[in-house]
Structure 1
């Protein structure tokens, strides 16, 4: 039976705009992490980059020129690489300057924007989403840093979400979630050729009422932590740790009064490895929001995981 852990809500975000759709938490340094507000309301056309400090309890929010899907810290000070609308760019948190370097992504289809992604060395792997969550037209992409090439790996996604890269015995593999399929699949990756192998189903969650959203690897690479988005009123939401070898659920972190978990992150703080979970208000009725009073908050819990030599990848730019 899976171990159950109750996560604690933070007093962040503290506005309706920021609680609408938080995603993509990511450690900047021990005790601090970033996250994105994808959009600041149902009809909003922009979002934000946010930075939270555990010691002060303070969140700093900076508006972006569109709706971000992901943001990762770079090697260069004060700089983040961001997937925003249909562009990749750098955002300087000191000057608030936005510098796009790859634009017109998904140029041959309509009504899609960049969603989740990951940084791997000087590469980015990311997907887009159909804003109507209906048509298999969104892309899965590799931005190859060494030659600044954008390579479309797939063109049949609906809402491309959680991703993790695994290097084992010289073989690079990608774990990937296209949320409406309710499956986690594995691809072999060839960065030189810019190709994927055919997908292999690793976890089949098609019978689950919740939808798999963001995901991260455990430090030892043996498990996948998946935020589960339950699109209905409930006493709690769940983020789960699945063993990749057996497919068994080993741990469940519950988010009381917040059923729509969106993304997990591991963050070092006070000598332990914490699990940060973003949750969302998106698509909730007023009645559901009244019941699910913690919806849109960020949560934190002990991960119970050994950090070892773990450190989150920093984008090499």
Structure 2
């Protein structure tokens, strides 16, 4: 098993940006985007951020709500964002929003959009129930071909990491609903807008930590999962798990930041690096002082030689 100690990459200078960073994603050469989902426990707004390796700067774009995900699009300076209960296009230059779809979780209350993924057919994303106790949050497919929002499930608690793999012509959605402490797979038919029977791929119920954000390894044989640890620990972890053998193949540690939220692989100076976000969400002031790197972004080495696919979202006409 490979083991890596991550370096502190960026510590936001505001409490708002350290509260709940997630969703790092490549955005051109030497840059990546990430979202600050919520600017504090009593806040209902967040931001989209762009970090630039060239000068170590971070630019913040305030949003009109709490973003669960944000991905670059084929339209210049425009992102697709899951915001509260709607999916919008956001122009970074003007801040203007263009609605793609709404009606997310319109059958229930107290949920907002959470993690998602972009793929060549559109978006797959889920929502979270804000007390983390009720199985009422949704899992959705936004199908670009006909611009339809399709409900896949309505029984999630806190929908998080997602990935798609194809084996022998069958497309499988890999999904995390964090409180279940499992990673599951569903056969998915994008054209029909349906899921098949659920299969548990990885089970972490014996552990005290929760699987959160997730990406595929470049060869598609495994996943890298960021684990959210609500307990006191010297470091947070992300782990690489083989989907066939279920073995742990690599581990990355984030010192003094146990609440690790999301991973992403990026190329920097010809090498493949892993970027990890961490959060201070739910931490008392005393615990934030104890875990003083919480809310920071980290970077670690890998043994990968190529990147996984990280598609931009196609806006179309």
TM-score band, normalised by the shorter chain? over 0.9
Q: Does 1:18 align with 2:11?
A: no
CA deviation profile, 1:51-88 (whole Å, cap 9, x unmatched): 00112100000100000000000011111100000000
Contact 2:6 2:255 in 1 (8 A): yes
Q: How many residues align?
A: 315
In the TM superposition, what are the counterparts of 1:208-223 in structure 2 within 5 Å?
208-223=207-222
**What residue is the counterpart of 1:126 in the other structure?**
125
Distance (whole Å) between structure 1 residues aligned to residue 211 and residue 241 of structure 2: 12
Structure 1 unmatched runs, 5+: none
**What residue is the counterpart of 2:114 in the other structure?**
115
Task: Give the Å deviation of 1:122.
Answer: 3.7
Contact 1:82 1:91 in 2 (8 A): yes
Contact 1:281 1:296 in 2 (8 A): yes
Distance (whole Å) between structure 2 residues aligned to residue 243 and residue 219 of structure 1: 12
Task: Give the Å deviation of 1:222.
Answer: 1.0
CA deviation profile, 1:195-254 (whole Å, cap 9, x unmatched): 001110000000111100000001110110000000022110000000111000111100
Distance (whole Å) between structure 1 residues aligned to residue 69 and residue 302 of structure 2: 22
Distance (whole Å) between structure 2 residues aligned to residue 156 and residue 46 of structure 1: 25
Distance (whole Å) between structure 2 residues aligned to residue 227 and residue 212 of structure 1: 6
Contact 1:7 1:254 in 2 (8 A): yes
CA deviation profile, 1:249-306 (whole Å, cap 9, x unmatched): 1111000000000000011110011100000000001111111000000000112212
Contact 2:121 2:190 in 1 (8 A): no
Contact 1:139 1:153 in 2 (8 A): yes
Structure 2 unmatched runs, 5+: none
**What residue is the counterpart of 2:71 in the other structure?**
72
**What residue is the counterpart of 1:85 in the other structure?**
84
CA deviation profile, 1:170-190 (whole Å, cap 9, x unmatched): 211100000000000010000
Give the TM-score taking structure 2 as reference length: 0.98
**What residue is the counterpart of 2:303 in the other structure?**
304
Give the TM-score taking structure 1 as reference length: 0.98
Q: Does 1:174 align with 2:173?
A: yes
Contact 2:11 2:293 in 1 (8 A): no
Distance (whole Å) between structure 2 residues aligned to residue 256 and residue 93 of structure 1: 33
Task: Give the Å deviation of 1:12.
Answer: 3.0
After superposition, the CA RMSD in angstroms is 1.0
Distance (whole Å) between structure 2 residues aligned to residue 304 and residue 131 of structure 1: 38
